[in-house]
A = this chain, B = another copy of it.
Amino acid sequence: MPTYEHPRPSVTVDVVVFGYDGGHDLKLLLIQRGSDPYQGQWALPGGFVEMDEDLEAGALRELEEETGVKDLFVEQLYTFGKPGRDPRGRVISVAHYALVNLSKHPAAAASDASEVAWFSLDKLPELAFDHAEIIKLATTRLRAKVRYQPIGFELLPEEFTLGELQALYETILGVPEFNKRNFRTRILRTGILEEVGRQQNVAHRPAILYRFNEATYQQLVEQRDSGVLRRALDFEI
B6 touches A10 (CB 8 A): yes
The reply on A9 being an interface residue by CB < 8 A is yes
Question: What 1/0 flags go to A3-14 for Cβ under 8 Å of B?
Answer: 110111111000
Contact at B51–A2, with CB atoms within 8 Å? Answer: no
Q: Scan A89-108; emit 1 where CB is below 8 A from any B CB, else 0.
A: 11110100000000000000
Task: Name the interface residues of A14-57: CB closer than 8 Å to any CB of B.
Answer: 35-36, 48-49, 51-55
Stretch of A75-83, A121-129, A150-158, A192-200 at the chain-chain interface: A75-83
User: How many monomers of this chain does the complex have?
Assistant: 2
Partner of A8, one of B11, B54, B78, B86: B11
Assess whether A1 is interfacial by the CB under 8 Å rule: yes
* A54–B80 alpha-carbon span in the complex (Å): 9
Number of interface residues of A (CB under 8 A): 32
A205 sits at the interface (CB 8 A): no
Q: Please classify the interface of chain A as helix (H, G, I), strand (E, B), loop, or mixed, using the class held by over half of its residues.
A: loop
Instruction: Check if B1 sits within 8 Å of A81, measured CB to CB.
Output: no
**Residue from B2, B6, B49, B54 in contact with A36 in the complex, judged by beta carbons closer than 8 Å:** B2
How far does the Cβ of A48 sit from chain B's closest Cβ, in whole Å?
Answer: 5
Contact B82 A79 (CB under 8 A): no
A40 to B164 CA separation, bound complex (whole angstroms): 57
Q: Which residues of the partner chain B approach A4 to less than 8 Å between Cβ atoms?
A: 89
A88 contacts which chain B residues (CB < 8 A)? 2-3
Residues of B within 8 A of A76 (CB): 78-79
Distance between Cα atoms of A51 and B1 in the complex (Å) = 17
The interface centre, meaning the residue of A9, A55, A89 with most chain B CB atoms within 10 A of its CB, is A9
B11 and A9 contact, CB distance less than 8 A:
yes
